Amino acid sequence: MLENMNEKCAVVGIYGHKEASKLAYFSLHALQHRGQEAAGISSSDGEKLHTIKDRGLVMKVFNEQKLATLSGTNAIGHTRYSTAGDDSILDAQPVFARYDLGEMAIVHNGNLTNADEVRNALIKKGAIFQTFMDTENLIHLIAKSEKEKLLDRIIDAVKRIEGAFSLVFLSRTKMFAMRDRHGFRPLSLGRIANGGYVVASETCAFDLIGAEFIRDVEPGELLIFEQDKAPISVKVFEPTPKKCIFEYVYFARPDSKVFGQSVYQMRKNMGAELSKIRPVEADMVIPVPDGGVPSAIGYSQASGIPYEMGIMRNHYIGRTFIEPTQEMRDLKVKMKLSPMTDIIKGKRVIVIDDSIVRGTTSRRIVKMLKEAGASEVHMRISSPPTTDPCFYGVDTPDKEKLIASNMSTDEICDFIEADSLAYLDSDALLRSVNATTDDYCTACFTGKYIV
């Protein structure tokens, strides 16, 4: 089984700007929440591609001198989030290759579901792989395609792969951006104020570099960027949208517009829905920072129960999920969140978080609030129980580690020692994000997989 190396990542592409690699760098900063393990940028100067990638945060991987070596008007970048496997730098992106048409680099967000199959077939034909990344399959498929032009080879290659992919390709003179037919992972197109184009996983990158949002790359669409031309659109697949609802629940930044809608507003809607379908009497609503903040605001505004900052977050600790062992995770939760004792002492509090995965965080939070003197702790979750793992690019543990796949809500409530626990239901979640048809993937809550 291939390791899932492209989970929860961010991609960016800058085309036709004299400071392309700098803009890619700033964009990756804005997208750092999507992956903290490794970062990389490839640029093209028309003749050659230049790549720098390494483990660590964007700020650590790059500096002024390094960016200066990434010359050219076009650049693509990536931040990687992966909990699995070897953290070898070989598994950082962009993936670069020399082949018969020249040089290319690829960045990928998502997860290919037929990666093993494709890889085994390629290996049988003599291909040699250097990494565990499913993205490397694409390099081989493009290099081996019989088509003459890179565009046709890319189309050939993406027709062989299945699953979730938002991809950006860089050649010596062109850039290509593509979303799979379901559009699982986001990818937006923008115009840079003083010339050129940008594609990025989230629009918060546009705001930072002064780009204007044009539109999303459509599911199944391939965009071609060529010098002095507006991007050309090719419909590679008939779109059958299944956008990842978890982007709204947890993953994207609240100041981004994802799938055409404000993430902040979607989360506030979830909180408001939660207050309607799972009301409880209390003195205050407090968020688990930062994920629970917008939905706690929504809950408070809709219920009239005052919003308070009851938990302080230490921002200088990485995400708790990063550490692979349970012991380290427990410790990290303690380091990360502390109670505002004066605010919550003697009070009935509603605590809002976006999701419960293993249950470690919620259990610790309830305990912490009780120890700080809260008289009642009511846990409210702004999404349905996470019962099933994601195969399309969000990092969730195996099914047996997902607490909601083994326990009922009442059992989880006992486990986390809360006075009450309630989740948003699927219908209310879909209502919150204005889903009109069956256009969202909700497999993590329903186990209904599409691919």
Catalytic residues, by residue number, are: 9
CB of 381 to ligand AMP, least distance (A): 9
Nearest distance from residue 419's CB to ligand AMP, in Å? 18
Give 248's DSSP letter.
I
Q: Which residues pair with 421 in a beta bridge?
A: 379
* 359 lies in the binding site for ligand AMP (CB under 6 A): yes
CA distance 160 to 168: 17
- Residue 393 φ/ψ region, left for φ over 0, alpha for ψ in the -120 to 50 degree band, beta for the rest: left
Query: Mask: binding to ligand AMP, 163-192, rule CB under 6 A, as x and -?
Result: ------------------------------
User: Residue 112 or 365: which CB sits closer to ligand AMP?
Assistant: 365
Are the C-beta atoms of 244 and 184 separated by less than 8 Å?
yes
Q: CA–CA separation, 438 vs 241, rounded Å?
A: 8
443 binds ligand AMP, rule: CB under 6 A: no
Taking the complex as a whole, the smallest distance from the CB of residue 67 to ligand AMP amounts, in Å, to 29
Q: How far is the CB of 92 from ligand AMP (least distance, A)?
A: 19
Interface residue with ligand AMP among 360, 382, 383, 432 (CB under 6 A) is 360
Give the interface segment with ligand AMP, choosing from 19-27, 63-71, 136-144, 357-365 (CB under 6 A).
Answer: 357-365
- Looking at the Cβ atoms of 42 and 382, the one nearer to ligand AMP is 382
Smallest CA-to-CA distance from 417 within 374, 357, 382, 387 is with 374
Q: Does 334 engage in binding with ligand AMP (CB under 6 A)? A: no
Q: Is there binding between residue 356 and ligand AMP (CB under 6 A)?
A: yes
Structure tokens at 383: 């999404």
Q: Is 80 in the site for ligand AMP (CB under 6 A)?
A: no
Instruction: Decide if residue 429 touches ligand AMP (CB under 6 A).
Output: no
Q: What is the DSSP string of 118-187?
A: HHHHHHHTT----SS-THHHHHHHHHH---SSHHHHHHHHHHH--B--EEEEE-SS-EEEEE-TT--S--
Residue in 361, 382, 383, 442 binding ligand AMP, rule: CB under 6 A: 361
131 near ligand AMP (CB under 6 A): no
Residue 115 burial by Cβ neighbours in a 10 Å radius (0-12, 13-18, 19+) = buried
Measured from the CB of residue 9, what is the shortest distance to ligand AMP in angstroms? 12
State which of residues 34, 358, 370, 378 lies at the interface with ligand AMP (CB under 6 A). 358
Give me the least distance between CB of 264 and ligand AMP, in Å please.
Answer: 16
Site string for ligand AMP, 220-259 (x = CB under 6 A): ------------------------------x---------
Task: Determine, following the binding rule CB under 6 A, whether residue 288 of this chain makes contact with ligand AMP.
Answer: yes
Say whether residue 382 binds ligand AMP (CB under 6 A): no
Residues 299-318 that bind ligand AMP (CB under 6 A): none
Helices 360-371 + 326-336 axis angle, to 10 = 40
Answer for which of 353, 366, 393, 441 binds ligand AMP (CB under 6 A) is 353
- Contact between residue 131 and residue 164 where contact means Cβ atoms under 8 Å apart: no
- Cβ-based nearer residue to ligand AMP, 300 or 361: 361
Least CB distance to ligand AMP at residue 281 (A): 24
Q: Phi first, then psi: give them for residue 243, nearest 5 degrees.
A: -70, 145
- Collect all residues with Cβ–Cβ distance below 8 Å to 394 and sequence separation of at least 6: 7, 8, 244, 246, 251, 444
One residue of 256, 300, 396, 432 binding ligand AMP per CB under 6 A = 396
Six-digit token string for 176: 């290509």
- Alpha-carbon gap, residue 423 to 121, rounded angstroms: 44
Residues in binding contact with ligand AMP, number by CB under 6 A: 18
For position 37 contacting ligand AMP by CB under 6 A, the verdict is no
Instruction: Select the span of 123-131, 263-271, 279-287, 351-359 touching ligand AMP (CB under 6 A).
Output: 351-359
E strand intervals along 202-347: 211-216, 221-225, 232-235, 243-244, 257-258, 261-262, 284-287, 311-313, 337-339
Residue 389 near residue 3 (C-beta atoms within 8 A):
no
b/e sequence 217-239, b meaning 16+ C-beta within 10 Å:
bbbbbbbbbeeeeebeeeebbeb
**Binding interface with ligand AMP (CB under 6 A):** 250, 288, 291, 319, 321, 353-362, 394-396
